[in-house]
Amino acid sequence: MTTPFGWSSTGTAERDVPVIRLKNDSDLTEKYEFGSKLGQGSFGEVYEATHLETRTKWAIKMVHRPAPGSKMVETVDNEISILKQVNHAHIIHLEAIYNSAAMIYLVTELCKGGDLKQLLQQKKSFTEDETRKIIFSLADAVVYLHQRNIVHRDLKLENILLKNSSNEGDDRFDIKVADFGLSVKTGGVEIGNIMTEACGTLIYMAPEMMSGRGYSQWCDVWSIGVIMFMLLCGEPPFVSQTQRGLLKEIMNKVRFTQPAWASVSGAVCLNSQMGVDLPPEGGPCLSHDCSSAAGDSLDCRRAYSTFWTQQCAGDD
C-alpha cells in the first residue's frame, strides 16, 4: 500500500533541530570521525562522518561563516530555516547544527549515491519505469513543500541526491531533494503572493521567471518537467550556443524530436507540465499557466495525478 500522494511518508511532526555551540572547530572531532570528501558546493565542502558515540554515518557540510550583511548570510540562513521546518521522506534530513566563530556545520543524512546529474552521465538516459519512480518521489516532495508555502526555486539534477548507490536493489532510486538556499516561504500561493526575483539555473527556469511579470509555485513544476525530459532523453529540452539563444528557446514551446519519445507514454504528462497543448487524441492534457493564481489552475498534486506517474504505485 502506497502513501497518499503529496503527503510525507514519514507521518511524523516537524522536528526541533539541536543547535550546538563549539568553542573551537577542533571540538567537532571529539564527536565525529571524518571520512572521505563527498563534494563541494557554493556553501563549502561536504564530508562523510561517523558519530563516535552511536557509530551512525552522516554527511557534514562545512560552511565558512559569511561576512555580516553579505548575500551569503541570507542564503545560508534561508537553507537552515527551511530544513528545520520540513520532515519528508524525499527531502534531505537535517540532524543537527554546530556553530563556531568561523564555521557552521550542518549534519545531514548521508546520501551515498551522489546526485542525479552524476548518475545520468553514467547511464546516458533512464528507462520510463525508472523515470516514473524518480519523478513520482520528486513531485511528492514538491507537493509537500507547496502545502507549506515553500517554493524551492532551484530544482535541478545536481540538487537531487540519491540515498543509495545505483545498484542497490529496489531502493536505488530513493531520492532526496537538497539545496534550499534559493527557496522562499510565501504567505500562500494565491495571486497576491506572486514572486518577481529571477533565480535558479537557467536551463531549468520557467519562462515566466524571466518575463518580469512575476511567477508562482508553478516554477517548481516546470523544473520537474525539464528534469523528466533530461532523464528520459539524456539531454536538455533547450539547447543553444549562447545565453540569448537559450532564453529564446525556453520562451518557445518544447519540441519532442528525440528518439526516446517514440516509445514513452510520459510525453502526455510532460506536455502538460511544460505548457504545450496536445490534440484531443493525445490523452489527458493538464495544461497550465505557471503564473496563474492557484484558484485558476491545477495544483501540483493534480498535475502529477496522471496515469503515467500513478503507475508507479502499481509497480511497487
From the list 16, 25, 77, 154, the catalytic residue is: 154
Closest CA to 42 of 12, 74, 11, 15: 74
User: H/E element holding 58?
Assistant: strand 57-64
CA dist 193 and 293 (Å) reads 9
HSE-CB for 269 with a 13 A CA cutoff: 29
DSSP 10-42: S--PPP---EEE-SSGGGGGGTEEEEEEEEE-S
Q: CB under 8 Å, gap of 24 or more: what pairs does 45-54 form?
A: 48/110, 49/107
Provide the 10 A C-beta neighbour count for residue 188: 11
* Beta-ladder partners of 161: 115, 176
Task: Cite the annotated binding site for ATP by residue number.
Answer: 61
For the question of residue 115 being annotated catalytic, the response is: no
| Binding residue positions | 61
> How far is residue 175's CA from residue 53's CA, in Å, rounded to a whole number?
28
Query: Which cell is 269 given?
Result: 504528462
Q: How many C-beta atoms lie closer than 10 Å to residue 52's C-beta?
A: 12
Q: What single letter denotes the amino acid at residue 123?
A: K
What's the angle, vertex CA 308, arms to CA 143 and CA 299, rounded to 5?
Answer: 30
Which sequence positions are flagged as catalytic?
A: 154
